[in-house]
Amino acid sequence: MTFGARLHDAMNTRGRFCVGIDPHSALLLEWGLGDDVAGLEKFALTVVEAVAPHVSVVKPQSAFYERFGSRGVAVLERVIAESRAAGALVLLDVKRGDIGSTSQAYADAYLDPASPLASDAITASPFLGFGSIDPMIETARRFDAGVFVLALTSNKEGPEVQHARTSDGTVAGGVLAHLARLNADASPLGDFGAVIGATIGRSDEQLDFNGPVLAPGFGAQGGTVADLKRIFGAAVRNVLPSSSREVLAAGPDVGALRDAALRGNDAVAALGDA
């Protein structure tokens, strides 16, 4: 199955809530763990145990593992493998963006099943020009994986690039147009998605591009179901709201983490089926 088909099925059977597995140092301390590899491993694998059997997608942020070097990356490998074994799709949040052979190397690292970091999908940055991520797009096609491309993020610095105008419209609009072409004729859902913040306020861009939308910022960061419906309109059927702190703050108790994830799923059920 293509990634888009797998994601479509997962959202309809497990719900459309995505849980970020982000071992911030502050969260490790809140859980009574050390800010070290042992604490990282205990934190991350506890979250996997609690949520991966119940949600459609988990999203580990690679940087929080990489900061511990090779031993941290080894923990990330376990997070990916054990999450997928529990039935969750893994969206690895790496936001890579480069050119040529380097872009291909990132694609091989995260999307080739031969890699210990192989995931169902990754995030990518198109701001060296959309063509710069072609190796990631083509590798995803080859291995039935997905790519979520930054488009309209909610960080305050984003608009200086994303809202900048070209002869064809805004930079973000150009990214979304590329995604629409990549997803043309895909059914039930394209493999190539956009990252669009749940707290961007409003947008005049065409957000219905036959692909999935990762919407970080839901829950503790302020995004609501009403916001998602207002921002995305008919395209809300393809939105995957994402939250990390909303769930992770319930730890370290496995049952409390599981219940927080299920509450997140219940909260976004009002968006309907994919």
Alpha-carbon torsion 200, 132, 98, 77, what sign?
positive
Active-site hit among 42, 59, 95, 156: 95
Contact (Cβ atoms closer than 8 angstroms) between residue 126 and residue 193: no
Please name which of 18, 14, 11 lies closest in space to residue 219, comparing C-alpha atoms: 18
Contact (Cβ atoms closer than 8 angstroms) between residue 92 and residue 80: yes
Contact (Cβ atoms closer than 8 angstroms) between residue 240 and residue 212: yes
β-pair type (169-170, 165-166): antiparallel
Active site residue 95: yes
Q: Which residues of 44-63 are buried (b: 16+ CB within 10 A; e: fewer)?
A: bbbbbebbbebbbbbbbbbe
- What positions carry a catalytic annotation? 95
